[in-house]
Chains A and B, each alone.
Chain A
Amino acid sequence: MNAPRKLRIATVSLAGCFGCHMSLLDIDEQVFALLERVEFDRSPLTDIKHCGPCDIGLVEGGVCNSENVHVLREFRAECKTLVALGACAVNGGLPAQRNHIDVGRCLSAVFQSRPGMDTAEVPDDPELPLPLDKVHPIHEVVRVDYFLPGCPPSGEAIWQFLSDLLAGRTPRVASPLLHFD
Chain B
Amino acid sequence: MSRPTFLLDGQPVAFDDGQMILDAARAAGRYIPHLCWHPDFPPHGSCKLCVVKVAGRHVSACATPARAGAEVESDTPEINAERRTLLQLLFVEGNHFCPACEKSGNCQLQAMAYDLEMTTPRFRHFYPDRPVDASHPEVLLDFNRCIYCELCVRASREQDGKSVFALTGRGIHKHLVVNAESGRLADTDFSAADKAADICPVGVILKKRVGFAVPIGERTYDRAPLHELAMPKTEGKG
Contact = CB atoms under 8 A, between A and B. Distances in A.
Interface of A: 84, 87, 90-94, 96-97, 99-100, 134, 136-137, 139-140, 144, 146-149, 151, 172-176, 178-181
B127 interface: yes
Interface residues of B, number: 28
B125 A180 contact: no
A149 B130 CA distance: 24
Interface of B: 91, 95-101, 104-105, 110, 113-115, 117, 119-122, 124-125, 127-130, 216, 222, 225
A140 B124 CA distance: 6
Given A92-B125, A137-B125, A175-B225, A87 B119 contact: no
A178 B117 contact: yes
A140 B104 contact: no
- In this complex, the member of B105, B113, B117, B125 whose beta carbon has the largest number of chain A beta carbons within 10 angstroms is B125
Nearest to A89: B120
Contacts of B225: 175
Contacts of B115: 175
B120 A90 contact: yes
Nearest to A92: B125
B217 to A, nearest CB: 8
Given A84-B120, A90-B120, A91-B121, 7 more contacts: A92-B97, A94-B99, A96-B95, A96-B125, A97-B97, A97-B100, A148-B119
A96 B96 CA distance: 11
Given A100-B129, A137-B125, A180 B98 contact: yes
- In this complex, the member of A90, A140, A176, A181 whose beta carbon has the largest number of chain B beta carbons within 10 angstroms is A181
Contacts of A96: 95, 97, 125, 127
A93 B97 contact: yes
